[in-house]
Structure 1
Amino acid sequence: MTGWWRAAPLLGLYRPALVAVGVGLLFSVVAAAAVARWEGRVNKIEFENAAETEVIVMQNGMSEYISRLVALRTLFESTNQEITRSEFETFSARLFERHPGMLRISWVPRVNRKERAEYEAAAITDGVSGYRIKSLQGDAFATAPQSDEYFPVFYSTQPKTSPVYGMDYATVPERRAVLERARDTDRIGAIRTRLYEPKEGGRLPDVLVAIPVYAKGTSRDAVVDRRRNLAGFVVGVFDLPLLIQSIRVTTGASPAVSVNVYPPFAGQIVGLEQMLPDYSSAATAPQTMRDVARTLHWSGNLKIGDTDWQVRAVPAAGGPLETTYDRAGAVLIVGMLLTLSLSTYLMLASRNSQRLSLANRRVLELAQTDILTGLPNRAFFLARLDELKGRLKDAGPTFSILMLDLDRFKNVNDSLGHGAGDALLRQVAQRLKSALRTSDVLARLGGDEFAIIQEACEDQRVCSTELAGRIAKLVAEPFLLPGHRVEIGTSIGIAIAPDHGSDQEQLLKKADLALYRSKSSGRNCFTIYDKAMSAELEARSTLEGDLRDAIARCQLEVHYQPFVDALSGTRRGFEALVRWRHPTRGLIAPDQFIPLAEETGLIVPLGEFVLRRACADAAGWPSDLAVAVNLSPIQFKEAELFEMISAALADSGLPPQRLEIEITESVLLERGVENHAFMERLKSIGIALALDDFGTGYSSLSYLTAFPFDKIKIDKSFIRNLTHQPRSSAIISSIVTLARGLDMSVTAEGVETREEYERLKALGVNFAQGYLFGRPQPIERILFDAPAKSSQRDAA
């Protein structure tokens, strides 16, 4: 009892202290636990960001190697001449002279049975002694047996004494599989492989990359096209560890992150204990996938061609990203000082919040950035428009939208490849940025379409037109791509807020309408929206609907204009010309509805109607009269066009020799090989072919020698200037001489006066057509028994 009484005052005296100690200990433990959890989260975030950055850098480096191999494909596909061995070796050496990790690069052509001996002899002539096409049997080579198709190593960066020359990839199942996959998908194929010659220090993992090469100018739209037009493969073999190590050293990789790269699963069930890395940046890091999974790790993929290597990253032992709990210990030690503990916790929490905020902001920036050009993307552009719309309600500053579309960009993409197209887009982005103020917004909306928001100008219309003019001038200057100099242009549409609306959808639609007007006006120009464009769009939509109905109800008419023998004046045939007599608008000119039909695809049923009607009408004419029918470039893209023409002839009973198909030069610019084959099919059944409107397009003389034309039709613009411009006479004389040398006839269009007719006869044209001999008339108004010469007198 006495001890208790003595202790009681002490307890009463120290109760506040004890309570403070208890509260302090409680807060210390709680704070330490909270800080420990926070440290784990922060370390994890920092580590994952660092690991993701490392893999992005590795992916960019790998993409750089792949892009250099793609450049070799461009070398093969950009020339009609054969690439020599020395050119291949020189170009390959320059591409990878400062890029370690590439073991060898090979050209693996597609060789058929008949070409085998020729390739073997050519390689021996080039200095590859004893070259022969070989098959791999086990680990040894033997002469390849006879086959319909080989894929041998023909060019290589290996010494000419290497046994790799002549190895037929078709005899190695896994390599044949990757070649076929790359060929059929027109993508870069990749496999993990091993070399068939020993490496010093034992074999290390290798990656084989195969890039399909197709014959220049051929189609690769469908699998059957790609299989038919395959020329061979550019094959690269990487030393994967050396390549990745080189990328990490070159880019200054963080030593705080250990990276392991594992081969693709390839559909096989492999134990996690057996999955050892093809590459590991630190020998002390966990090796098998199961070991990695037991620790703090980050998982991702490294894309090589069409395969994904597995990437596992862990914090380096003893590095700054390894999870420790130093702060939690410090908080526990000084926990009795509650204020200091709380201040420290709040400070650390604030820093954690800031880091998380920066990470979230970075994620948002990436989501609103175009990866190819680094410009803001469509999402950012639309968000900015929403902000400006809100300011307009509060009487904020006006702004304008400029929609840009690159002219002739598709030609660059199709002829030089998507790599060149991407490089061109990056250069365009840089030029556009140089023309803008810091307050302007430039975004890439997708493809070759860009958009600009320009605000805070005294006179928005003047500022916008001045900016559009600068941009058009900048983009029109030549661009230098690797090995090429290209010229493009840009069409620009402008909408101004609030004059043309304040709603985002309205402004974008009106800017698009203005852009469409720029493209229709000849491209490489700019247009500001006006109300007439909306009216034109509505009228165009109405006209399109009426045209659909007219085609469906066969309300269109076919008129015929005669063409005559230039020397005798005898009528030799008629050209079929479509006419549309609208029930309320009367006769609509072809130049109003033919372009509309081509844009909407209605030209296909329209063209079939004209061809069938012309064949049916001509079948009832005298047997010495032919009929000429124009084909649109859009019709040439139809797979069953030949069958349609054959059916029209068969149904009408018109002999093919009395049908003449007229083709414009624009048909010859695309799908050259396919269109040439189609024209040969027409010729094979007796149909004559004429090159229409010669002199108004590209007028390349190569078309006359490369395509099987029977006739050239000189455009009427030359005839119109014939009597008062001597240069027109000289041009027509040259065309006649050229056609005569190529065994072709010449028709002069647009002959309206006797003087023009006499001059053309003197120049040697074969046929003449124009109002002098008759205007286009319906079939029922044509008199087939009237002599052609009297028609000339009446017209004169």
Structure 2
Amino acid sequence: MGDRDRNDQDRRGMTGWWRAAPLLGLYRPALVAVGVGLLFSVAGAAAVARWEDRVNRIEFENAAETEAIVMQNGMGEYISRLVALRTLFESTNDEVTRSEFETFSARLFERHPGMLRIAWLPRVNRKERAEYETAAITDGVSGYRIKSLQSGGFATAPQSDEYFPVFYSTQPKTSTVYGMDYATVPERRAVLERARDNDKVAALRTRLFEPREGGRLPDVLVAIPVYAKGTSRETIADRRRNLAGFVVGIFDLPLLIQAIRVTTGASPAVSMNVYPPFTAQIVSLEQMLPDYSSAATAPQSMRDVARTLHWSGSLKIGDTDWQVRAVPTAGGPLETTYDRAGAVLIVGLLLTLSLSTYLMLASRNSRRLSLANRRVLELAQTDILTGLPNRAFFLTRLDEMNRQLSVRGLPFSILMLDLDRFKNVNDSLGHGAGDALLRQVAQRLKSAVRANDVLARLGGDEFAVIQEAGADQRACSTELAARIAKLLTEPFLLPGHRVEIGTSIGIAIAPDHGSDQEQLLKKADLALYRSKSAGRDCFTIYDEAMSAELEARNTLEGDLRDAIAQCQLEVHYQPFVDALSGARRGFEALVRWRHPTRGLIPPDQFIPLAEETGLIVPLGEFVLRRACADAAGWPSDLAVAVNLSPIQFKEAELFEMICAALADSGLPPQRLEIEITESVLLERGVENHAFMQRLKQLGIELALDDFGTGYSSLSYLTAFPFDKIKIDKSFIRNLTHQPRSSAIISAIVTLARGLDMSVTAEGVETREEFERLKALGVNFAQGYLFGRPQPIERILFDAPVKPSRRDAA
């Protein structure tokens, strides 16, 4: 029940008492008036006081929470800059020099006064100690030596298995901190180990070893582990083994927070106190004096703060939480007062004024609620990351445009955009870089559209534009699409990286392609799909043939599902031979689909469809099981090679399926060869590496298929446990008339020998190509020269393989 309802009940009760007591005489009206007036005055004042207290508390807590968020964001900015320094060490193949470190550090923390100094602590083992000391002296750090901290000062560090000395620092080269071994200081060694084992930023409240003026409070030490480039950090053992060193920063916490508050224009109405993390040494709240206080007049100890109106939170620095307590500034606008309650009490005997005051307050509350509802509605229709309208707003606006089309007949276009190669950025640089890229894409798209067009982010890397009517809607749409495509092909600059992407665009025009939301969106999506199928980085306007293609594709997909379910697919086998002896060493399993009405359907038509729809998983299992079962009946010196699709690698039970195929067929694992394309290795590198190691442990051979057509083949050869390289047939096709192809193949063979791998040449069709490949040193050959893919019943296992002119034709 609300205050107003209670007041009304009280008034009715008083009126009933007055009517029931006629003998009170002349004083009765006055007494009733006084009683009612006093009742309303006290009740109104009490209600307003409670309301003031609640509103002030809410406003204060909102302001305090905002200030805490600002401080946390500012601290995150400092930490992110230290992480950028870690990236410098982990992203280069060469050693970072002292001058590079000093230059990069100085640029990172320009106009960031809270950073006292930054240091690089390499991991130095016993054998490297003298080398590091000599290198530092050569760099100009006079008398450099690895030192330990003792009660009397620094002394030469005793012999140890490893050290973590200050090697680079933003301190002058005459500073005594150079060479100080953090491993000799227990609390600092502990924070380094914590950062290393958790692969996280670790923080410590500590005192500097070099004295500073004023006997100031301890500073904050932040340690970030740096690992050797390209090494694993999945487990603690990996992280300990691959640790390269630490980037260490020392923060002047009061100066840092004060700089953040000044830079962001912090509210003076809130006094912020930051206390150190709770430790076992703190036995009383009275001991908890702040490391930072924005107002000297505010309560200092945590116990004093708890006695007043306050807000509690935390400031996360690395893996440690500092305690944040906020109180209203004395005399500030957020300090709780009861002026309105006093005013209501004074004028409470005047019913009109009391009612006016109540209505005024109610009106103000209503306005606040209205503003809050409006803000909620705005947020519900806005994409938080880019600030663009979201899918809900886009669909609402599309409905409005369709209604205007039916009334006024004004045409419009829909452009559906999908970013090309965005997933590669997310996977290689992280989601933070992907978010930054999406924000830059949104800014460029804003510059491309007109003020009356609707630009929205639908989700992920999908954007859409509603373009209002023009003189020639088709020409306007293609002009806008071309402008967008050109803008998005220009390089994007992300922190530490230069990224190039593109966009595929599908266009639908109303009313030519439909007059309702569902039709237009479907046809724009079809046009977008055509753009992506055409090689991406282009735009396409919908035409009716696309719907027919979609229907045909859906029909083909249904037929493929039936073919897989009913085991109507065939597995053919193409031999590969020893290049020196010509002896047959095995067969590659190739799937074929003989459609009941359309005949033999080429693999390049149904394999991509199977991968898009996920049917490649049961299809791949069928091929693997059939190949293992067939190969089990071959002579024991023949192997069978099976391709695995990138989609199959995402299946959690792939390893168990391979083991089951081998077990059910009885084929020894050593006679199974798994062929993998480089696209498999672009994603989930750590997981796929572990999966391939498990296959190797079974005895299965691994081949890198289509070598030379990917992005970074050489790095995969050293990072993944391949046994064989299969040279793509595009090199073989040009072998006899392009010297460069011979040079490339020769280099691949030399590289493979150095890595203890064999080489197979695919697509060998002529005797001349074969002789040239033997001279270049390839181990195996495969192609029409030695036989086309055949069903198993047409393969003669006892007959030697003789290259035939008919097969090569």
TM interval, shorter chain, is 0.7 to 0.9
After superposition, the Cα gap between the structure-2 partners of 1:538 and 1:771, relative to the gap in structure 1 and judged at 3 Å, is same
After superposition, the Cα gap between the structure-2 partners of 1:198 and 1:538, relative to the gap in structure 1 and judged at 3 Å, is farther
Task: Report if the CA contact (8 A) 1:69-1:236 is conserved.
Answer: yes
Task: Report if the CA contact (8 A) 1:570-1:787 is conserved.
Answer: yes
CA distance in 2, matches of 1:336, 1:281: 44
After superposition, the Cα gap between the structure-2 partners of 1:780 and 1:436, relative to the gap in structure 1 and judged at 3 Å, is same
1:154 CA drift (Å): 3.4
1:320 CA drift (Å): 2.8
Q: Pick the aligned partner of 2:99 from 86, 104, 118.
A: 86
After superposition, the Cα gap between the structure-2 partners of 1:294 and 1:458, relative to the gap in structure 1 and judged at 3 Å, is farther
Which 10-residue stretch deviates more, 770-779 or 400-409? 400-409
1:464 CA drift (Å): 5.1
RMSD (CA atoms):
6.2
Task: Report if the CA contact (8 A) 2:573-2:792 is conserved.
Answer: yes
1:557 maps to what in 2? 570
2:10 maps to what in 1? none
CA distance in 2, matches of 1:481, 1:735: 35
Q: Pick the aligned partner of 1:257 from 260, 264, 270.
A: 270
Task: Report if the CA contact (8 A) 2:417-2:503 is conserved.
Answer: yes
Task: Report if the CA contact (8 A) 1:208-1:238 is conserved.
Answer: yes
CA distance in 1, matches of 2:789, 2:292: 77
Task: Report if the CA contact (8 A) 2:196-2:239 is conserved.
Answer: yes
1:384 maps to what in 2? 397
CA distance in 2, matches of 1:301, 1:399: 52
2:362 maps to what in 1? 349
Q: Deviations over 1:124-154 (max 9, x none)?
A: 5444556555666779667667766654443
1:594 maps to what in 2? 607
* SS of residue matched to 1:751: coil
1:282 CA drift (Å): 0.6
Task: Report if the CA contact (8 A) 1:514-1:533 is conserved.
Answer: yes
1:625 CA drift (Å): 6.4
Task: Report if the CA contact (8 A) 1:633-1:667 is conserved.
Answer: yes
TM-score (norm 1): 0.78
Task: Report if the CA contact (8 A) 1:194-1:203 is conserved.
Answer: no
1:281 CA drift (Å): 0.5
* SS of residue matched to 2:229: coil
* SS of residue matched to 2:128: helix
1:506 CA drift (Å): 8.4
1:558 CA drift (Å): 2.8
1:102 CA drift (Å): 1.1
After superposition, the Cα gap between the structure-2 partners of 1:276 and 1:615, relative to the gap in structure 1 and judged at 3 Å, is same
Q: Deviations over 1:415-453 (max 9, x none)?
A: 445544333222112112222333444444554444445
Corresponding position: 1:289 with 2:290? no
Which 10-residue stretch deviates more, 607-616 or 649-658? 649-658
Gaps of 5+ in 2: 1-13
User: What are the residue-to-residue correspondences of 1:488-499 with 2, within 5 Å?
Assistant: 488-493=501-506
* SS of residue matched to 1:397: coil
Task: Report if the CA contact (8 A) 1:292-1:314 is conserved.
Answer: yes
After superposition, the Cα gap between the structure-2 partners of 1:286 and 1:727, relative to the gap in structure 1 and judged at 3 Å, is closer
1:273 maps to what in 2? 286
1:761 CA drift (Å): 9.1
After superposition, the Cα gap between the structure-2 partners of 1:531 and 1:237, relative to the gap in structure 1 and judged at 3 Å, is farther
CA distance in 2, matches of 1:2, 1:20: 10
CA distance in 1, matches of 2:774, 2:118: 63
1:83 CA drift (Å): 1.1
Task: Report if the CA contact (8 A) 2:577-2:585 is conserved.
Answer: yes
1:87 CA drift (Å): 1.6
CA distance in 2, matches of 1:6, 1:380: 61
After superposition, the Cα gap between the structure-2 partners of 1:655 and 1:46, relative to the gap in structure 1 and judged at 3 Å, is closer
Q: Pick the aligned partner of 1:448 from 458, 461, 473.
A: 461
1:780 CA drift (Å): 1.8
CA distance in 2, matches of 1:714, 1:8: 111
After superposition, the Cα gap between the structure-2 partners of 1:237 and 1:339, relative to the gap in structure 1 and judged at 3 Å, is same
User: What are the residue-to-residue correspondences of 1:131-530 with 2, within 5 Å?
Assistant: 150-169=163-182, 175-176=188-189, 178-183=191-196, 185-220=198-233, 226=239, 228-265=241-278, 272-329=285-342, 343=356, 346-347=359-360, 349-362=362-375, 365=378, 369-377=382-390, 402-452=415-465, 465-493=478-506, 515-527=528-540
1:514 CA drift (Å): 5.6
After superposition, the Cα gap between the structure-2 partners of 1:622 and 1:49, relative to the gap in structure 1 and judged at 3 Å, is closer
After superposition, the Cα gap between the structure-2 partners of 1:671 and 1:357, relative to the gap in structure 1 and judged at 3 Å, is closer
Q: Deviations over 1:219-244 (max 9, x none)?
A: 45566655554433322221111110
CA distance in 2, matches of 1:163, 1:143: 12
Which 10-residue stretch deviates more, 397-406 or 703-712? 703-712
CA distance in 1, matches of 2:49, 2:344: 10
Task: Report if the CA contact (8 A) 1:134-1:168 is conserved.
Answer: yes
Task: Report if the CA contact (8 A) 1:259-1:313 is conserved.
Answer: yes
* SS of residue matched to 2:778: coil
Q: Deviations over 1:45-91 (max 9, x none)?
A: 44344333323332232222122112112211221111122221221
Gaps of 5+ in 1: none
Which 10-residue stretch deviates more, 462-471 or 85-94? 462-471
Q: Deviations over 1:192-230 (max 9, x none)?
A: 444344432224143333333333334455666555544
CA distance in 1, matches of 2:90, 2:99: 17
CA distance in 2, matches of 1:140, 1:114: 26
TM-score (norm 2): 0.77
1:743 CA drift (Å): 10
Q: Deviations over 1:574-593 (max 9, x none)?
A: 43322345678764432244
After superposition, the Cα gap between the structure-2 partners of 1:237 and 1:790, relative to the gap in structure 1 and judged at 3 Å, is closer
* SS of residue matched to 1:709: coil
* SS of residue matched to 1:784: coil
Task: Report if the CA contact (8 A) 1:184-1:227 is conserved.
Answer: yes
After superposition, the Cα gap between the structure-2 partners of 1:355 and 1:715, relative to the gap in structure 1 and judged at 3 Å, is same
CA distance in 2, matches of 1:10, 1:576: 113
After superposition, the Cα gap between the structure-2 partners of 1:762 and 1:179, relative to the gap in structure 1 and judged at 3 Å, is closer
CA distance in 1, matches of 2:525, 2:280: 48
CA distance in 1, matches of 2:175, 2:159: 23
Q: Deviations over 1:754-784 (max 9, x none)?
A: 8988998999988764445432101221234
CA distance in 2, matches of 1:267, 1:13: 74
Q: Pick the aligned partner of 2:544 from 512, 517, 531.
A: 531
The count of residues paired between Structure 1 and Structure 2 equals 796
CA distance in 2, matches of 1:352, 1:369: 26
1:8 CA drift (Å): 21
1:64 maps to what in 2? 77
CA distance in 2, matches of 1:630, 1:177: 49
1:618 CA drift (Å): 5.5
1:622 CA drift (Å): 6.6
Task: Report if the CA contact (8 A) 2:583-2:801 is conserved.
Answer: yes
Task: Report if the CA contact (8 A) 2:693-2:721 is conserved.
Answer: yes
Q: Pick the aligned partner of 1:23 from 36, 61, 79.
A: 36
After superposition, the Cα gap between the structure-2 partners of 1:779 and 1:234, relative to the gap in structure 1 and judged at 3 Å, is same
Task: Report if the CA contact (8 A) 1:494-1:529 is conserved.
Answer: yes
After superposition, the Cα gap between the structure-2 partners of 1:324 and 1:710, relative to the gap in structure 1 and judged at 3 Å, is closer
1:96 CA drift (Å): 1.3
Q: Deviations over 1:737-762 (max 9, x none)?
A: 99999999876644557898899899
Task: Report if the CA contact (8 A) 1:42-1:352 is conserved.
Answer: no
Task: Report if the CA contact (8 A) 1:74-1:416 is conserved.
Answer: no
1:560 CA drift (Å): 1.9
1:636 CA drift (Å): 6.5
After superposition, the Cα gap between the structure-2 partners of 1:709 and 1:244, relative to the gap in structure 1 and judged at 3 Å, is closer
CA distance in 1, matches of 2:363, 2:46: 17
After superposition, the Cα gap between the structure-2 partners of 1:787 and 1:41, relative to the gap in structure 1 and judged at 3 Å, is closer
1:488 CA drift (Å): 0.9
After superposition, the Cα gap between the structure-2 partners of 1:101 and 1:729, relative to the gap in structure 1 and judged at 3 Å, is closer
Task: Report if the CA contact (8 A) 2:701-2:722 is conserved.
Answer: yes
Q: Deviations over 1:492-517 (max 9, x none)?
A: 45567888889988877776666555
After superposition, the Cα gap between the structure-2 partners of 1:442 and 1:91, relative to the gap in structure 1 and judged at 3 Å, is same
1:316 CA drift (Å): 1.3
After superposition, the Cα gap between the structure-2 partners of 1:736 and 1:304, relative to the gap in structure 1 and judged at 3 Å, is closer
Task: Report if the CA contact (8 A) 1:261-1:279 is conserved.
Answer: yes
Tell me the percent identity. 91
Task: Report if the CA contact (8 A) 1:139-1:196 is conserved.
Answer: no
CA distance in 2, matches of 1:493, 1:11: 89
